[in-house]
Structure 1
Amino acid sequence: MSEKVMLYETQFFGFTPQTCMMRMYFAFQDHLFHMMLVIEEVILKKLESMRYAKLTSSSIRRCSEKFLAYMRNHFDQLFGKMEQLLLQVVLTIPENVLLPEDKCQDQYRYTESEFQELQEEIQHMEHLIKTEVSAQQALKAELEEQKATQEHLERICQWFDGLNNVCREHGTSNLKESFDFLKGNAAKLQTVMQEVEDKSKKLNKK
């Protein structure tokens, strides 16, 4: 059996030529063995009808095995020639023949160095694409954060507007004045609470 790697033929036929030849070989061998069993059975039946004492079933079997070995030996020699013919002529694709799906390679030829440069350029482009995608993702996250911050600021502005409206309803036109007024009242309240606490301590001592 040929050990030559026939990748192009395998691509075209869908199977390796060596596998095809091996299956043919085993098919012939099985057929030969089956035929020898049939012939042996016919001879044994003829022998029973003739009742020839010198020929026994065991002697017939030995003769069948010898004949089978002889046939296998000659078959192997013939099959070797047939295998060489089929693998070199029938199941092989000439070097100047291209499959339809590979004709683009003949149209766009390139050297090994050009192929390497192309690979490097592809890797560089892939790196740029990954960088661009990462940058877009970072920008998207930043925009989402800015959007959330903007919404928060809008809520604060709405709160100040509402507070300003409340102050105006109670006679204070300026928000700063309102804060000053609240601060003064808080200080007065703290002073009153301190006085109450001091008086409470004096009463407890008595």
Structure 2
Amino acid sequence: MYEAQFFGFTPQTCVLRVCNAFQDCLYDILPVVEKVCVRQLSNGVSAEADELRIAARECSRRLQQALEERFMRLSERMTPLLLKRCLTVPPHVLLPEDQSHKDYPQAVQEAVRLESSISELQSAFEAEVCARQMLLAELEEQEEVQKHLDEITAWVRELQFSWVKEGNSSFHDSFRVVMESIKKLQKAVLEVYNKAPQTD
């Protein structure tokens, strides 16, 4: 609500403050009136004063209740009247901080456009960051795989060099024979393991 921004309060708040002020005054005045009435009517007789005090208290309670109900009904009618006739800001009246919006409407539109562009750029930047992180993770995996491949290649070259140095036959044929022997050895170890008695 622009009225609340302009005045610093809403019509409902204004009516509520008036109601609170009325109730505070009522709470302050009724006990005083009650004491004065009891003193004037009792003529100094204590027995009559006690009875009058009880009756005055009951009358004060009823009066207070009636006045509060009446004032609440009035306050419900006051709110729309205040909003319509007193607390309505005309269209041509602006706050000082909003005056620039009227003087430079293009600047407002440009600001909205810039905010939209900034939001789009922010989203694109976040997407680029996520993509970069994924690429870095994939690159690390590839580097790890390449490291293992280089180790295997180096081992094969060393084995080939040793084979040639010892004057053995073709490395490729010998390597094939070695791999077949390794497979047979693995198979034999597995058979021995299966035949061995199992202990709990």
What range is the shorter-chain TM-score in?
0.5 to 0.7
- What residue is the counterpart of 2:32 in the other structure? 38
Post-superposition Cα deviations, 1:16-44, rounded to whole Å, max 9, x if no partner, equal 34223313312312321331122112321
TM-score (norm 1): 0.52
Aligned partners of 2:12, 2:79: CA distance in 1, in Å?
Answer: 12
- What residue is the counterpart of 2:189 in the other structure? none
5+ residue gaps, structure 1: 1-6, 188-206
For 2:136, the aligned partner's letter is: K
- What residue is the counterpart of 2:171 in the other structure? 178
**Which of 29, 41, 52 is the aligned partner of 1:47?**
41
- What residue is the counterpart of 1:190 in the other structure? none
Post-superposition Cα deviations, 1:62-108, rounded to whole Å, max 9, x if no partner, equal 77578765798699879x7899679855x6655422253x4564465
Q: Is the 8 A contact 1:40 1:60 kept in 2?
A: yes
Within a 5 Å distance, the mapping from 1:125-136 to structure 2 comes to 128-129=124-125, 131-136=127-132
Aligned residues: CA RMSD: 5.2
Aligned residues: 174
Aligned partners of 1:60, 1:38: CA distance in 2, in Å?
Answer: 11
Within a 5 Å distance, the mapping from 1:126-165 to structure 2 comes to 128-129=124-125, 131-165=127-161
Aligned partners of 1:15, 1:60: CA distance in 2, in Å?
Answer: 39
For 2:94, the aligned partner's letter is: V
Post-superposition Cα deviations, 1:113-144, rounded to whole Å, max 9, x if no partner, equal 99998898677656645654454344234322
TM-score (norm 2): 0.53
Question: What secondary structure is seen at the aligned counterpart in 1 of 2:170?
Answer: helix
Q: Is the 8 A contact 1:9 1:92 kept in 2?
A: yes
Aligned partners of 1:24, 1:184: CA distance in 2, in Å?
Answer: 105
- What residue is the counterpart of 1:204 in the other structure? none
Q: Percent identity?
A: 33
Larger relative contact order (Cα-Cα within 8 Å, sequence gap ≥ 6): 2
Question: How far off is 1:162 after superposition?
Answer: 2.6
Bigger radius of gyration among the two:
1
